Chain A
Amino acid sequence: MFPKQYEALQVMSHAVVGFPNLDENEKAIAGLVKSGVKLIELQVPFSDPVADGHTLVNACHDALKHGGSVRATLALAEKVCAKHPEATFILMSYLNPLYRYGLQALFEKAASVGIEGLIIPDWPVEEIEPWLPTFDELGLSPILMVTPNTPLERIERIAKASRGMIYVVSRMGVTGHQTQWGEDFQSYLDRIRQYTDLPLAVGFGVRSADDLNALAGKTEVAAFCSKYIEWQRNDGSDVAAEKMEAMIGEVSA
């Protein structure tokens, strides 16, 4: 289930499938759910992840050495969706691994194992639109991205094609760097809200409890991903989950 418009802030976090390895993914996801994370992206690792910063690029390359793949992602999704019905699982992937699997077959399989949403950063709205009837039939929500330089008429088009929520890229650049949450950011959110009643998930640069508190009341979802993967790499999945729980505890309701 995706949140409703103006509901209190929820945290979305991340698993790169195969990082640090496939067994650890299951444990890490259980830890995230227990720590209060409501939405989890399962990222299919890719050899050439152009929208990601170094944390996720390196995690992708490590994951590929440890069995990460589209098939491994679907297998993991089948397990975790069944085990954690309270959480919402979103398939995040660059287009090519999915294309190679076969898009129609992939979407059917993903929906059947319990995936609720899709984030595909290199698949622009023009290419997604013809698939909307398929997504609606399967109950899969394409979550499209809006960026600070997206022109208004394009925001409108993206909003129309999006389901579940809209992914708001907080600033220019790739994942894994700090963002400022000032007046410009608020007017950016207002610009998007003109065109949609969907909840907004803000990502890129959400790296601390301060960031979450800054976003609380402004947006429905905060994507806390690269920093979590850094915790996972440096401290292991158990400590990463503890840090997540402590951080979510610091967010004022």
Chain B
Amino acid sequence: MIRSDNGYFGEFGGRFVPEILLPALTQLEDLFFQLRDEPSFWQEYLTLTQEYSGRPTPLTPLRRLSRQLGGAQIWLKREDLNHSGAHKINNVLGQGLLVQRMGKKRVIAETGAGQHGLATAIMAARLGLEATIYMGDEDIERQYSNVFWMRQLGADVVAVTTGSRTLKDALDEALRDWAASVETTHYVLGTVCGPAPFPEMVAYFQSVIGEEIRQQALQQMDRLPHAIVACVGGGSNAIGAFGAFLDDPEVELVGVEAGGRSLDEGQHSVRLLKGTGETGIAQGYKTLFLQNDDGQLGDTHSIAAGLDYVGVSPILAYLTQTGRVIPDSASDAEVLEAFSLLMKVEGIIPALESAHGLAGGFKRAKAMQPDQNLVINLSGRGDKDIFNIARAFPQAEWTGFLQREALRSKELLAETGGQ
């Protein structure tokens, strides 16, 4: 289990929040520390993920693609098969158990690609809680299908129009809401970032991914894998996949960040590679942030809204510093190529976020031997990306369909008056 030293991982982490939020964080930490030491709590959590989200998710061998690439045997950890379509639901279901114990009736969340917002809306619907989801204006445009579903599920989705109008601004806005509502509201932070105890707590719930990989590898490969590769936005799917292997130095752990269009300022979301992120303190914690000389957080870009974030998990910042985790990046173009390859050769539609892990993993697998095994954490499925993929691979047929659908939708609205 990943444990902090009083909220810190090496020099990273901590709890840098306005005074008003401290009592709630302390309360949450006390509850979490008490529950994580009770074996029955972990069992309760596992049962919930099994009954509601179909865990354990399979470890799928990519036989055809591995042969085609000619290197290591590639396996996918299928977090895309979770209910809601991504690993985000693991953390949310876990935090849902805490919300029930605290007796709070409202939850709030920030979301980038909308997967965490969707998972939170699903949990809130199931537990009968009120939910408000903060999402950057720009991300709403990029991931509208998730916004549609969150609203259908009964959540209030608030468009954040300040700053860069992406994930970091949604997180700021969620913190502002929480400062006013903290006594009745739980903030379901979606990743292994933010003030303590969130990084440690989210890592705990996501550790189910790595625990399963370990058992499945021993069964299916008869040994531990040589490498595990995961995409890194905030870092929750990566920490989840890596956690069970930190003490096995023979297992390479590789985090793939969003290389975007280039490594020029504002064109990527790479924070772990040298010369990119610098140590800073913002959004409640200390980590490597993309920032300028004045300490202003920078603009980011990624084809995948879920990786388009300015900071990174303090746990990953630390593990990269110690050399345990190897940082890598994949460009937008490499990601689209990996996306197509998986779809056409193995019949699996990945999320664009997860396709970063594929791009990094395929590259690595090619340089390895056929008797070696490499696991890529497929953190989410790609249905939500239909509009982005259509834009990346333009087709007249799709454009024609959208025009006809827009017309039908307009006519229907005129007929019903939006009722």
Interface set of A (CB-CB < 8 Å, partner B): 46-54, 57-58, 61, 64, 69-71, 94-101, 121-124, 127, 144-147, 149-151, 154, 158, 169, 172-174
Distance, CA A147 to CA B4, complexed state (A): 27
Residue contact B180 to A173, C-beta cutoff 8 Å: yes
Residue contact B281 to A99, C-beta cutoff 8 Å: yes
The contact of B295 among A70, A127, A147, A173, by CB within 8 Å, is: A70
Show 23 A/B contacts (Cβ-Cβ < 8 Å), sorted by A: A47-B296, A48-B169, A48-B282, A50-B175, A50-B176, A51-B179, A53-B176, A54-B162, A58-B162, A69-B294, A70-B295, A95-B16, A100-B291, A121-B18, A123-B16, A124-B19, A127-B16, A144-B19, A147-B18, A149-B23, A172-B180, A172-B181, A173-B179
The minimal Cβ–Cβ distance linking B404 to chain A, given in whole angstroms, is 40
Knowing A61-B162, A127-B14, A169-B20, say if A98 contacts B295 (CB, 8 Å). Answer: yes
Residue contact A100 to B294, C-beta cutoff 8 Å: yes
Interchain residue pairs A-B with the least CB separation, the first 5: A100-B295, A173-B180, A97-B295, A147-B20, A51-B18
Residue contact B163 to A48, C-beta cutoff 8 Å: yes
The contact of A124 among B16, B283, B289, by CB within 8 Å, is: B16
Distance, CA A122 to CA B295, complexed state (A): 14
Question: Across the two chains, which residue of chain B brings its CB closest to A126?
Answer: B15
Distance, CA A97 to CA B294, complexed state (A): 6
Residue contact B294 to A50, C-beta cutoff 8 Å: no
Residue contact A150 to B19, C-beta cutoff 8 Å: yes
The minimal Cβ–Cβ distance linking A180 to chain B, given in whole angstroms, is 14
Distance, CA A49 to CA B283, complexed state (A): 9
Residue contact B16 to A122, C-beta cutoff 8 Å: yes
Residue contact B291 to A96, C-beta cutoff 8 Å: yes
Distance, CA A146 to CA B22, complexed state (A): 11
Distance, CA A94 to CA B293, complexed state (A): 15
Distance, CA A146 to CA B18, complexed state (A): 10
The contact of B294 among A71, A121, A124, A149, by CB within 8 Å, is: A71
The minimal Cβ–Cβ distance linking B172 to chain A, given in whole angstroms, is 5
Residue contact B162 to A70, C-beta cutoff 8 Å: no
Distance, CA A133 to CA B175, complexed state (A): 32
Residue contact A46 to B182, C-beta cutoff 8 Å: no
The minimal Cβ–Cβ distance linking B292 to chain A, given in whole angstroms, is 8
Main secondary structure of the interface of B (DSSP, over half): mixed
Q: What is the total number of residues of chain B having a CB less than 8 Å from a CB of chain A?
A: 34
Distance, CA A173 to CA B182, complexed state (A): 9
Distance, CA A174 to CA B178, complexed state (A): 9
The minimal Cβ–Cβ distance linking A63 to chain B, given in whole angstroms, is 11
The minimal Cβ–Cβ distance linking A146 to chain B, given in whole angstroms, is 7
The minimal Cβ–Cβ distance linking B171 to chain A, given in whole angstroms, is 8
In residues 265-307 of chain B, which contact A (Cβ within 8 Å)?
A: 278, 280-284, 289, 291, 293-297
The minimal Cβ–Cβ distance linking B108 to chain A, given in whole angstroms, is 14
The minimal Cβ–Cβ distance linking B12 to chain A, given in whole angstroms, is 13
The minimal Cβ–Cβ distance linking B75 to chain A, given in whole angstroms, is 39
Residue contact A50 to B20, C-beta cutoff 8 Å: no
The contact of B163 among A47, A94, A100, A145, by CB within 8 Å, is: A47
Distance, CA A146 to CA B169, complexed state (A): 26
Distance, CA A146 to CA B20, complexed state (A): 8
The minimal Cβ–Cβ distance linking A185 to chain B, given in whole angstroms, is 16
Question: Across the two chains, which residue of chain B brings its CB closest to A49?
Answer: B172
Residue contact B172 to A48, C-beta cutoff 8 Å: yes
Residue contact B168 to A48, C-beta cutoff 8 Å: yes
Extra A-B contacts (17), CB below 8 Å, given A51-B20, A52-B176, A144-B19: A47-B296, A48-B172, A51-B18, A54-B162, A70-B294, A95-B281, A95-B282, A100-B278, A122-B18, A122-B281, A124-B16, A145-B20, A147-B19, A158-B19, A169-B20, A172-B181, A174-B180
Distance, CA A54 to CA B172, complexed state (A): 11
- Residues from chain B with Cβ under 8 Å of A64 in the complex: 296
The contact of B172 among A50, A145, A149, A172, by CB within 8 Å, is: A50
- Residues from chain A with Cβ under 8 Å of B282 in the complex: 48, 94-96, 122
Question: Across the two chains, which residue of chain A brings its CB closest to B293?
Answer: A100
- Residues from chain B with Cβ under 8 Å of A174 in the complex: 176, 179-180
The minimal Cβ–Cβ distance linking A201 to chain B, given in whole angstroms, is 14
- Residues from chain B with Cβ under 8 Å of A101 in the complex: 294-295
Distance, CA A147 to CA B15, complexed state (A): 17
Distance, CA A121 to CA B19, complexed state (A): 7
The minimal Cβ–Cβ distance linking B6 to chain A, given in whole angstroms, is 9
Of the listed residues B283, B289, B294, the one surrounded by the most CB atoms of chain A closer than 10 A to its CB is B294
- Residues from chain A with Cβ under 8 Å of B291 in the complex: 96, 100
**Interface residue? B30 (CB, 8 A):** no
Residue contact B183 to A172, C-beta cutoff 8 Å: yes
Knowing A53-B176, A172-B182, A173-B179, say if A46 contacts B16 (CB, 8 Å). Answer: no
**Interface residue? B342 (CB, 8 A):** no
- Residues from chain B with Cβ under 8 Å of A61 in the complex: 162-163
Residue contact A145 to B294, C-beta cutoff 8 Å: no
Residue contact A124 to B20, C-beta cutoff 8 Å: no
**Interface residue? B153 (CB, 8 A):** no
Distance, CA A96 to CA B311, complexed state (A): 13
- Residues from chain B with Cβ under 8 Å of A99 in the complex: 280-281, 295
The minimal Cβ–Cβ distance linking B124 to chain A, given in whole angstroms, is 22
Q: Please, what's the 1-or-0 string for B123-164, where 1 marks a CB less than 8 Å from any CB in chain A?
A: 000000000000000000000000000000000000000110
Residue contact A48 to B283, C-beta cutoff 8 Å: yes
**Interface residue? B263 (CB, 8 A):** no
**Interface residue? B17 (CB, 8 A):** yes
Question: Across the two chains, which residue of chain B brings its CB closest to A145?
Answer: B19
